Chain A
């Protein structure tokens, strides 16, 4: 046993105080909160990792980091965490209702990340369904920042309606970036929608990639991830090069509460990002 927790201050059991400095409404029920540490900040998050965010008196929920910003005061202390939260339960509704100036508690970083380094040299597919774009946004930023490291890059988005698409302004900007294919498909288009109608899986047919050397990063509802991963495998993408981010109940983030088990995997520790070679067989067992 190595002496662990002391070395990772603030990331074990107790949240650090942060303050909401901005609140951006993304969709009818989803906001992005920019959080700045009130004192000491947490260790840096890698794309795909998550934090436990505490709504005062209500409880904590796991929320992936959807971006990092440099704050005004500079340095780690000023590093802002962006969290995109959908109001679905008591705690997330509490977070959704926060206003600039309100305090929250944050623990982390927890879990595995997307680890884009393994994708270098090959084509890259980012496939997001609904809120699944939130944990993928830092990865898209990485693809935009270092295009020379990757082959052909595609970002494929699915949503219920055009109004449910996250980060619409940014997605428009991504579309203008050279060498990045951005596709979006909605289930129900509205007037003025100029994207596709259908599932995000159908968009795979539009993307250009060389399957054996392609890395895919997939996040969305489990059914959507299963369908996407199967289609990618069918097209020849190796299962271990397809990474998905899974969701199970998480309370502690530290591998101690037992809730996030998926067979042999503790998702807060061994996930949430897993290769499809591991995730596929586990998701194939009902009620595992």
Chain B
């Protein structure tokens, strides 16, 4: 056992992963390539194999702030799983990026046909969202801000 093992979809059974794999292909993005953009239809999702993706936001009059980065094993994109299936952030390849790319519409159909797989995937995606929510809340605390941290200060 070693972490990350199977990454975001590790909780699925081998059979379930195989079923999803049939709906996926390997893909690569060159450094700086935009993977998706806020407001576009969320028709695909990715699991990062190698490299890093940055989630960013478009703001007027300045560079796009990066709110989070994702690395190997991470699920890139969850808006495809929930209506209205529209990206709420943008994503860009932060350096050369190798991914497994899934056809979101096809996966949703499989989930509807196979509720056991659908439930397993819902738990996996929900887990990722919960994890990111926790991390975001931690960052809201601004732990390293004016209040000091550390053992003996």
A and B touch in the complex (CB under 8 A): yes
Instruction: Write the residues of chain A forming the contact surface with B, with a CB cutoff of 8 angstroms.
Output: 48, 50, 61-64, 85-86, 88, 92, 111, 129-132, 134-135, 158-160, 164, 185, 187, 189, 191, 196-199, 201-202, 204-211, 219-224, 227, 235-236, 245-247, 250, 272-273
Closest CB in chain A relative to B151 CB, distance in Å? 3
- Near A by CB (< 8 A), chain B positions 99-151 give 131, 134-135, 138-139, 141-151
Check B66 against A129 for contact (C-beta < 8 Å).
Answer: no
Check B139 against A187 for contact (C-beta < 8 Å).
Answer: yes
Return chain A residues, CB-CB under 8 Å to B68: 197-198, 202
Check A132 against B150 for contact (C-beta < 8 Å).
Answer: yes
CA distance in complex: A131, B149 (Å): 6
CA distance in complex: A55, B145 (Å): 24
CA distance in complex: A219, B149 (Å): 8
B side interface size, CB within 8 A: 35
**Sampled A-B contacts (27; CB under 8 Å):** A48-B151, A62-B153, A63-B152, A64-B150, A86-B153, A129-B149, A130-B143, A130-B148, A131-B153, A132-B149, A132-B150, A159-B144, A187-B144, A189-B66, A198-B135, A199-B135, A199-B139, A202-B68, A208-B2, A220-B149, A221-B149, A222-B149, A236-B1, A245-B150, A246-B151, A247-B152, A272-B151
Check B144 against A221 for contact (C-beta < 8 Å).
Answer: yes
CA distance in complex: A199, B141 (Å): 11
Check A210 against B143 for contact (C-beta < 8 Å).
Answer: no
Besides A62-B152, A63-B152, 7 new A-B residue pairs in contact (Cβ under 8 A), listed by A number: A135-B152, A191-B63, A197-B66, A208-B2, A235-B3, A236-B1, A245-B151
Closest CB in chain B relative to A96 CB, distance in Å? 12
Return chain B residues, CB-CB under 8 Å to A134: 150
Check A196 against B153 for contact (C-beta < 8 Å).
Answer: no
Return chain A residues, CB-CB under 8 Å to B7: 205
Return chain B residues, CB-CB under 8 Å to A221: 143-144, 147-150
Check A207 against B3 for contact (C-beta < 8 Å).
Answer: yes
Check A209 against B2 for contact (C-beta < 8 Å).
Answer: yes
Check A273 against B151 for contact (C-beta < 8 Å).
Answer: yes
Interface of B is mostly: loop
Q: Which of B66, B67, B145, B152 contacts A64 (CB 8 A)?
A: B152
Check A220 against B2 for contact (C-beta < 8 Å).
Answer: no
Give the nearest-CB partner of A189 in chain B. Answer: B66
| B47-79 Cβ-contact flags toward A at 8 Å (1 or 0) | 000001010000000010111110111100000
Check B153 against A160 for contact (C-beta < 8 Å).
Answer: no
Instruction: Write the residues of chain B forming the contact surface with A, with a CB cutoff of 8 angstroms.
Output: 1-4, 7, 52, 54, 63, 65-69, 71-74, 131, 134-135, 138-139, 141-153
Return chain A residues, CB-CB under 8 Å to B151: 48, 50, 64, 132, 135, 219, 245-247, 272-273
Check B152 against A160 for contact (C-beta < 8 Å).
Answer: no
CA distance in complex: A197, B4 (Å): 19
Q: Which of B69, B71, B150, B152 contacts A220 (CB 8 A)?
A: B150
Check B1 against A131 for contact (C-beta < 8 Å).
Answer: no
Closest CB in chain A relative to B138 CB, distance in Å? 5
Check B69 against A197 for contact (C-beta < 8 Å).
Answer: yes
CA distance in complex: A236, B4 (Å): 13
Give the nearest-CB partner of B151 in chain A. Answer: A245
Return chain B residues, CB-CB under 8 Å to A202: 68, 131, 135
CA distance in complex: A135, B74 (Å): 31
Q: Which of B2, B74, B148, B153 contacts A210 (CB 8 A)?
A: B2
Return chain B residues, CB-CB under 8 Å to A209: 2-3
Return chain A residues, CB-CB under 8 Å to B135: 198-199, 201-202
